[in-house]
Homo-oligomer: A and B are copies of this chain.
Amino acid sequence: METFAFVCYNFHLLMDFKADDRVSGKVTIKDIAAKAGVGIGTVSRVLNNSPNVKDSTREEVLRIAKELNYVPNGAARMLVRQSHSTATVGLLLPVVENQFFFELIKHIHACLKNHQFNIMIFSTDHGHESVVHHIIEQRLTAVLTLGDPPLTAAEQEILNFHKIPFLYVDYHDADSSYITYDSVKGSVMAADYLISRQCKKIMMIGLTDRSQQQIDRFQGFRRRAEETGGIHVSELCINSEEECYDISLSLLNDQSLDGIFYFSDTLAYGGIQARMECGRDVSIIGYDDIFPSKFMKLSTIRQSAEILGTRAAEMVIEMVRQREDGEEKQLLQTVLQPEIIDRNS
């Protein structure tokens, strides 16, 4: 994997900083106060733009602060103010990080930063108990959870206790705030598409994570197929997107198979390729409508990462506002509707 990577390490030795002890990077308002010949209170007032300071004093303090490369200690500030200077939202990511999630993060981030929020990313790999703890310890403003797994009851309780709002994104739970696309509806659309193309023997292909979304899609599709009748539906869960091409090839040996529903466009690309090579007449539909699908001529179920991400950000901002205004906590629940994109595949 790395054989073609030629690496060149290039070492320079840098001069040490000159031996002045105030140069160690720990300048405090005390240092500034001493140098300016004023009290630390005055320094603090200047630094916080308090109006009650003589102009000459202000300028002198500011000059010295800059000269000393002073940067306030966020921890000390936070300790006394009980809140961050910049609000930070924690983003909990699951292990499996698909393409769609990254689009999502991009838009969540874009919207949040417009509202002066920062984002901090955490993995839920090893269970998120400790992550939630860390979030509270750092007094983050809010929490967004992407996809599965949901928060445990204990985690929810401790977040509630500390009045930190949390929002599920791409997951639904009747008792929590969430925003999600309707996966059941999306897979019903996929079923209708294949049914309209007279498919009688259909394979659904997803990944091996037993996510809520995956389950919803299997269900929605199967239900619609059963309502219609006379259709044979199978399910297949594979381990990675990479192997989808090979697996599709062997599936296509079954000459009676006439429809495939891939749970993501990325999976479907391998299928499109395999179908072309076999010259088989099989209908294919994907899910997501990511950028290349247009050029792959892939029919698919579109869900917009931009809308989901932006909305999610707006919802969390609203939740934060509610808390700050001391309003009672309300559940916010949003269900977005996917859309079918017919490219005759």
* A residues adjacent to B (C-beta < 8 A): 1-2, 4-14, 16-17, 23, 25, 69, 71-79, 85-86, 88, 93, 97, 102-103, 105-106, 109, 113, 118-123, 125, 133-134, 136-139, 157-158, 161-163, 241, 245, 266, 269-270, 272-273, 291-292, 294-296, 304, 306-307, 311, 328-337, 339
Query: Which residues of B lie under 8 Å from residue A109 when comparing CB positions?
Result: 93, 121, 123
Closest beta carbon of chain B to A243's beta carbon, Å: 13
A118 and B118 contact, Cβ closer than 8 Å, known pairs A161-B69, A330-B13, A337-B5: no
Closest to A11 in B: B330
* Distance, CA A261 to CA B105, complexed state (A): 30
Closest to A333 in B: B10
Closest to A290 in B: B292
Query: Which residues of B lie under 8 Å from residue A97 when comparing CB positions?
Result: 106
Please pick, from B133, B269, B334, the residue contacting A291 in the complex, using a CB distance under 8 A: B269
* Distance, CA A71 to CA B135, complexed state (A): 10
Closest beta carbon of chain B to A242's beta carbon, Å: 8
Query: Which residues of B lie under 8 Å from residue A328 when comparing CB positions?
Result: 13-14, 16
Please pick, from B6, B113, B306, B307, the residue contacting A336 in the complex, using a CB distance under 8 A: B6
